[in-house]
Amino acid sequence: MISRAMSEFSDFISELQLVDLQMVGGDCTWSNGRAWSRLDRFSVSASWEALFLELKQKRLQRIVSDRYPILLDCGGIVSGKIYFKFENM
Protein backbone atom coordinates (compact mmCIF):
# COMPACT_ATOMS: atom_id res chain seq x y z
CA MET A 1 0.00 0.00 0.00
CA ILE A 2 1.40 3.39 -0.99
CA SER A 3 0.86 6.09 1.61
CA ARG A 4 0.40 9.78 0.89
CA ALA A 5 3.90 10.54 2.23
CA MET A 6 5.42 7.91 -0.08
CA SER A 7 3.58 9.39 -3.05
CA GLU A 8 4.69 12.94 -2.17
CA PHE A 9 8.29 11.79 -1.79
CA SER A 10 8.16 10.09 -5.20
CA ASP A 11 6.72 13.26 -6.74
CA PHE A 12 9.51 15.30 -5.10
CA ILE A 13 12.20 13.05 -6.63
CA SER A 14 10.54 13.23 -10.06
CA GLU A 15 10.05 16.99 -9.92
CA LEU A 16 13.72 17.62 -9.10
CA GLN A 17 14.80 14.94 -11.61
CA LEU A 18 17.07 13.26 -9.05
CA VAL A 19 18.98 10.16 -10.09
CA ASP A 20 20.08 7.23 -7.98
CA LEU A 21 23.84 6.69 -8.09
CA GLN A 22 25.35 3.31 -8.82
CA MET A 23 26.46 1.49 -5.66
CA VAL A 24 30.04 0.20 -5.54
CA GLY A 25 30.84 -2.66 -3.16
CA GLY A 26 27.44 -4.35 -3.09
CA ASP A 27 23.82 -3.66 -3.93
CA CYS A 28 22.16 -3.90 -0.52
CA THR A 29 22.53 -1.66 2.53
CA TRP A 30 20.61 -3.75 5.08
CA SER A 31 20.45 -7.43 6.01
CA ASN A 32 19.09 -9.49 8.86
CA GLY A 33 20.94 -12.60 7.68
CA ARG A 34 17.98 -14.00 5.71
CA ALA A 35 16.73 -10.99 3.73
CA TRP A 36 18.60 -8.23 1.94
CA SER A 37 17.38 -4.77 0.92
CA ARG A 38 18.65 -1.40 -0.25
CA LEU A 39 17.29 1.09 2.26
CA ASP A 40 19.92 3.82 2.08
CA ARG A 41 21.09 5.74 -0.98
CA PHE A 42 22.30 9.07 -2.32
CA SER A 43 20.22 10.79 -4.99
CA VAL A 44 21.71 13.69 -6.93
CA SER A 45 20.79 16.11 -9.70
CA ALA A 46 22.21 15.99 -13.21
CA SER A 47 24.19 19.17 -12.47
CA TRP A 48 25.96 17.38 -9.59
CA GLU A 49 26.84 14.49 -11.87
CA ALA A 50 28.24 16.97 -14.41
CA LEU A 51 30.26 18.79 -11.74
CA PHE A 52 31.74 15.63 -10.21
CA LEU A 53 32.61 13.27 -13.04
CA GLU A 54 33.77 10.46 -10.75
CA LEU A 55 30.76 10.67 -8.41
CA LYS A 56 29.74 7.34 -6.87
CA GLN A 57 28.43 5.88 -3.67
CA LYS A 58 30.35 3.15 -1.91
CA ARG A 59 29.05 0.53 0.47
CA LEU A 60 31.41 0.16 3.40
CA GLN A 61 31.86 -2.79 5.78
CA ARG A 62 29.32 -3.05 8.56
CA ILE A 63 30.71 -3.49 12.03
CA VAL A 64 27.94 -3.60 14.62
CA SER A 65 24.65 -2.64 12.97
CA ASP A 66 22.45 -4.59 10.56
CA ARG A 67 23.04 -1.71 8.10
CA TYR A 68 26.00 -1.13 5.82
CA PRO A 69 27.23 2.49 5.91
CA ILE A 70 27.54 4.25 2.57
CA LEU A 71 30.03 6.91 1.51
CA LEU A 72 29.53 9.55 -1.18
CA ASP A 73 32.81 9.68 -3.13
CA CYS A 74 33.11 12.82 -5.28
CA GLY A 75 36.44 11.79 -6.82
CA GLY A 76 38.73 14.04 -4.80
CA ILE A 77 39.90 17.56 -5.29
CA VAL A 78 41.16 18.48 -8.74
CA SER A 79 44.07 20.87 -8.70
CA GLY A 80 46.70 22.02 -11.14
CA LYS A 81 50.32 22.86 -10.55
CA ILE A 82 50.86 25.22 -7.66
CA TYR A 83 53.19 28.10 -8.35
CA PHE A 84 55.67 28.55 -5.51
CA LYS A 85 57.76 31.67 -5.20
CA PHE A 86 60.26 32.49 -2.50
CA GLU A 87 61.67 35.98 -2.06
CA ASN A 88 64.68 36.40 0.21
CA MET A 89 64.50 39.90 1.66
- pLDDT greater at residue 6 or residue 82: 6
> What is the domain range of residue 34?
20-89
Note whether residue 11 is domain-resident: no
Note whether residue 63 is domain-resident: yes
CA distances from 49 to 23, 28, 29, 68, 73 (A): 14, 22, 22, 24, 12
pLDDT at 37: 92
Note whether residue 4 is domain-resident: no
- Work out the percent of the chain whose per-residue pLDDT is above 70: 91
Note whether residue 1 is domain-resident: no
For residues 59-68, average pLDDT: 90
pLDDT at 64: 87
pLDDT tens profile 20-62: 888 999 888 998 889 999 989 999 998 888 888 888 899 999 8
Total of domains in the chain: 1
Note whether residue 44 is domain-resident: yes
